[in-house]
Structure 1
Amino acid sequence: MHWTASALLLLSAALLGGGVEASSSPASSIVWTNTQRFLFDVDGNQIDAYGSKINLFQGSYYLYGNSFSTTGSAFGIKSYSSPDLKHWKYEGFLYDPTTPSPCDAIGGCGRPHIVFNSESKTYVLWANAGSAGYIVGTSTSPSGPFTFLNQTAAIDPQFDGLQPADFAVETFNGKGYIVFSVLNFRSPNAGSIWPPIFQTLHISELTPDYTNTTLTSYRVTSPAMDLIDQETESPDFFVTENGTFYVFASNTCGYCNGSIALMYRANSLNATWDRQILSGYSCNGQLEGILPLQSPQNKAIDYIWHSTSVPGGPRTGFSGHIFQPLQFASDGSVHDLNCASSAAFNVSFVSGSDSLPSGVASSAVDGSPMFADYEAVCDSDQFTLYQTWQASQSGSIKSVSVNVASSVQTVPLTMTLFKFNSYQHLTAPEYKWTTYGSASYNASALTFVFDTVVASNSSNVTVSKGDLLGYSFAGADFAPKDWGRTRCVA
């Protein structure tokens, strides 16, 4: 079956005159759960950044990741900023992805990481360019634009002939480090079915300008060097005040619905690493990065596990994000991840100094909550879908928006804004609502993630406080199908 545009009933934002702007008071706490996985910016668009990392730069937390909205696959790197990890402002692409770059055609500049060089006052971007290796760009701003260097970064020559893969870069005490994996497609131990490749982790120091490695590396593995150690990717790491190195990673998975959560710990780069398995499936996600947050009470650092979540979605663009604080034991080990659906994590932290951004969604009078247990649905060709709400104040409607993603639709998806008398009337035979406006969208007018589209621009419509309002989705797009293999087509 060919499905129409996937509809996510999220931001039922009736924008009335006199909307309230977001507060400029910085927040100092946030509650994360294992079920609230979608993130949105202050304009209501889905955060479109995967394989992402969050850094604190210039008074704001910056979230960087690969964009999937344009093509459905990795295409360029987007950035978002927020002082409180809740109100995210879209900062744009780090470079123009429509112009030739060293990696867009062969990997989308995968899993970007940025570090700041205090000596040169330069932000240094590292990205995975697939078989070409790691590319490096520089900028004077954390949101770019970044200019790529003319050559790829060099790694330990012992890996010549192998493919550099997932990685992370960080700085500690004025020194830069990279932890990276390498893919071995020619191992004689590869299986006919699984594993087809082997992937091992290594760590190197960076040159003083953070644009290259020192060509010397140390393997990150347990003494077992078993299949788990040889199938590691998507790493991130940090060093504690007492000099302990922690490397977190997952097994080879690639934006999947779950992967083994791993932790490696050592007192130096060339020491023996202790390994722990923190979860068998990482709460239905794969590690993206570790987010350090400073506690406002005792200035201690809380380390937050941040992973990509694809909860049954048919493509990476439907992904969400999972956050939870790592819990350390007195011996330095880490407790297992808490993957319970009822788990909630209240974290206090030192917020950024920038004022809270405001946008179309944050200033809307009526709207769905920013944090909720949203799920992707792909059935707008089988059913007419409805979203209803009650006007909280009187005024003129400026616009109504909703989050919709493109699929394989061949007919327009039509959204109709209406007013109705009561829920009993709405479902009663022969009842006719009052139509306020409508809008139609072809697949080409939508993105591959849940961005907002205007369901109705009805500037001449006035409503009274308490009015019942709604909009409908209709867009049948049927084709012959195999009933035994119905699925949502990406």
Structure 2
Amino acid sequence: MTMRCFFFILATGCRAAQITFTNTQRLLFDVDGNQVDAYGSKVNWFNGSYYLYGNSFSTTGTPFGIKSYSSTDLENWKYEGFLFNPYSSNPCLGSGGCGRPHILYNPKTSTYILWANAGSSGYQVATSASPTGPFTFLASTAAIDPKFDGLQPADFAVETIGDKGYIVFSVLNFHDPSAGSIWPPIFQTLHISELTSDYTNTTRVSYPVRSSADDLIDQETESPDIFMRDGVYYVAASNTCGYCNGTIGLLYRSGKIQGPWTRQIISGYSCDSQVEGILPLNSQQGREVSNYVWHSTSVPGGPRVGFGGHIFQPLRFCSDGSVEDLNCYSQAQFNVEFQSGSGPVASGAATTAGQATPLRATYSPVCDSDLFDLFQTWTVAKSGKLRSVSVNIAASVQTVPISLTVFKFDSYADLVSPE
């Protein structure tokens, strides 16, 4: 029997739009030309706009607050600022670093609920009336299943499915004698719980997310996300690596959160990235989800460097609910229809400049700005006075001052061999 795999493209309507994703043109810059400084991020659809949330690593070189960006077309992203003021009381300075933040919306209370990793103490929870904050943290952290007392909660995701909220989380077990003493610990396992009705805590009852093999792959899982398609629960995840530039891509599925779960390895290195989440997209308002997009962090050169980015690829489902392997071909293109936002397309210094490097291009990292002089040339498009020049420095933490000098010359010969 031939198994047919597919992803949906619905008929275009008045609110439908289309975007082309690739494996090499990463989401790197906002509309002002600044780095999209958001790692371990998640994209949500709230109130007619798309919002991207993630940890800031470029401010101090370590997790420092949570930044937010908004877009109506999934291509032009506007910086919306920190979700809370990290310069006053900053819960992200602890062991969890507010890692992999997620936000839910509770329509009963018209409240946005932020969850963030608080390390050994559990998960920080904060609330706001706006998807961009400011968020106010609750007095206590969320409690997880007491059978994990003494262990360390780690990567997680929260999501609403119907009128219920769920958390899928990993637990680090450094105590088991089989775990060893070096990173990664063998036992970082996934579990799922329902949330309380207000989405600010768990019910403290959990079920494991693992395959019948219960092997080393199941025991080294992190960066999860959860979604439902055709009545089936799916959990996307990766092998333990910590914001690395390539790891196993995993997808679990089950008819109920109690399991049993069927596991798929859909990529051996996730197209040089690590999964951050799944972005459900529908092509028209009121329609059911037509595409589930695999969203991952692409970090060439190693983990947590400032020159990171995000790549997107639609999952291709088969008739039995399984998914085809990710397409990691460097020239692959994925045309995806989606519902555009209700507001205008964001614009800024980079999109309105007379001349500018495109926001989306195949960029390569240059990691020697501390040691060398770098230069770039361009031919002006028109005569007149040059009023401003901007350069984006996508750095982890710039350790020496940078000076920018602009020279005018009439020919390349004047540049390379001046009289």
Q: Which residue of 2 aligns with 1:131?
A: 120
What is the CA–CA distance in structure 1 between the aligned matches of 2:171 and 2:396, rounded to whole Å? 34
Aligned pair partner of 2:409 in 407, 410, 420: 420
Q: Secondary structure at the match of 1:378?
A: coil
Q: Which residue of 2 aligns with 1:277?
A: 265
Q: 2:306, 2:397 within 8 Å by CA — same for their partners in 1?
A: no
Amino acid at match of 2:235: V
What is the CA–CA distance in structure 2 between the aligned matches of 1:30 and 1:149, rounded to whole Å? 38
Sort the Cα spacing of 1:408 and 1:322 in 2 relative to 1 into closer, same or farther, 3 A.
closer
Q: Which residue of 1 aligns with 2:356?
A: 367
Q: Which residue of 2 aligns with 1:430?
A: 418
Q: Does 1:266 align with 2:254?
A: yes
Alignment of 1:55-134 (within 5 A): 55-134=44-123
Residues 285-336 of structure 1 deviation map (CA, whole Å, 9 limit, x = unaligned): 1111111111249754201111111112474322111111111111110010
Q: 1:244, 1:268 within 8 Å by CA — same for their partners in 2?
A: yes
Post-superposition offset of 1:395? 3.6
Post-superposition offset of 1:398? 2.1
Amino acid at match of 1:100: S
Post-superposition offset of 1:258? 1.1
Amino acid at match of 2:232: T
What is the CA–CA distance in structure 2 between the aligned matches of 1:273 and 1:187, rounded to whole Å? 24
Q: Which residue of 2 aligns with 1:184?
A: 173
Aligned pair partner of 2:233 in 245, 257, 275: 245
Q: Does 1:254 align with 2:242?
A: yes
* Count of residues paired in the alignment: 405
What is the CA–CA distance in structure 2 between the aligned matches of 1:84 and 1:407, rounded to whole Å? 28
Q: Does 1:167 align with 2:156?
A: yes
Q: Secondary structure at the match of 2:317?
A: coil
Post-superposition offset of 1:190? 1.7
Q: 2:249, 2:269 within 8 Å by CA — same for their partners in 1?
A: yes
Q: Secondary structure at the match of 1:387?
A: coil
Aligned pair partner of 1:398 in 387, 401, 407: 387
Post-superposition offset of 1:414? 2.7
Amino acid at match of 1:176: G
Sort the Cα spacing of 1:396 and 1:116 in 2 relative to 1 into closer, same or farther, 3 A.
same
Q: 1:116, 1:123 within 8 Å by CA — same for their partners in 2?
A: yes
Q: Which residue of 2 aligns with 1:312?
A: 301
Aligned pair partner of 1:154 in 130, 139, 143: 143
Residues 465-487 of structure 1 deviation map (CA, whole Å, 9 limit, x = unaligned): xxxxxxxxxxxxxxxxxxxxxxx
Q: Secondary structure at the match of 2:393?
A: strand
Q: Secondary structure at the match of 2:306?
A: helix
Sort the Cα spacing of 1:378 and 1:247 in 2 relative to 1 into closer, same or farther, 3 A.
same
Q: Which residue of 2 aligns with 1:213?
A: 202
Amino acid at match of 2:58: S
Task: Tell me which protein shows more strand as a share of its residues.
Answer: 1
Q: Which residue of 1 aligns with 2:325?
A: 336
Sort the Cα spacing of 1:115 and 1:386 in 2 relative to 1 into closer, same or farther, 3 A.
same
Identity over the aligned pairs, expressed in percent? 67
Q: Which residue of 1 aligns with 2:275?
A: 287
Query: Looking at CA atoms only, which structure, 1 or 2, has the larger radius of gyration?
Result: 1
Amino acid at match of 2:418: E
Amino acid at match of 1:311: P
Which stretches in structure 1 are left out of the alignment for 5+ residues?
1-24, 432-490
Q: 1:26, 1:84 within 8 Å by CA — same for their partners in 2?
A: no
Q: 2:243, 2:303 within 8 Å by CA — same for their partners in 1?
A: no
What is the CA–CA distance in structure 2 between the aligned matches of 1:329 and 1:410, rounded to whole Å? 50
- Give TM-score, length-normalised by structure 2: 0.92
Q: Secondary structure at the match of 2:147?
A: helix
Q: Which residue of 1 aligns with 2:5?
A: none
Sort the Cα spacing of 1:169 and 1:380 in 2 relative to 1 into closer, same or farther, 3 A.
closer
Post-superposition offset of 1:102? 3.5
Amino acid at match of 2:411: S
What is the CA–CA distance in structure 1 between the aligned matches of 2:216 and 2:242, rounded to whole Å? 17
Post-superposition offset of 1:108? 2.1
- Give TM-score, length-normalised by structure 1: 0.79
Amino acid at match of 2:176: S
Residues 441-475 of structure 1 deviation map (CA, whole Å, 9 limit, x = unaligned): xxxxxxxxxxxxxxxxxxxxxxxxxxxxxxxxxxx
Sort the Cα spacing of 1:212 and 1:299 in 2 relative to 1 into closer, same or farther, 3 A.
closer
Q: Which residue of 2 aligns with 1:379?
A: 368
Post-superposition offset of 1:371? 0.5
Q: 1:38, 1:374 within 8 Å by CA — same for their partners in 2?
A: no
Sort the Cα spacing of 1:414 and 1:321 in 2 relative to 1 into closer, same or farther, 3 A.
same
What is the CA–CA distance in structure 2 between the aligned matches of 1:261 and 1:423, rounded to whole Å? 47
What is the CA–CA distance in structure 1 between the aligned matches of 2:397 and 2:341, rounded to whole Å? 41
Q: Secondary structure at the match of 1:219?
A: strand
Q: 1:186, 1:197 within 8 Å by CA — same for their partners in 2?
A: no
Post-superposition offset of 1:195? 5.1
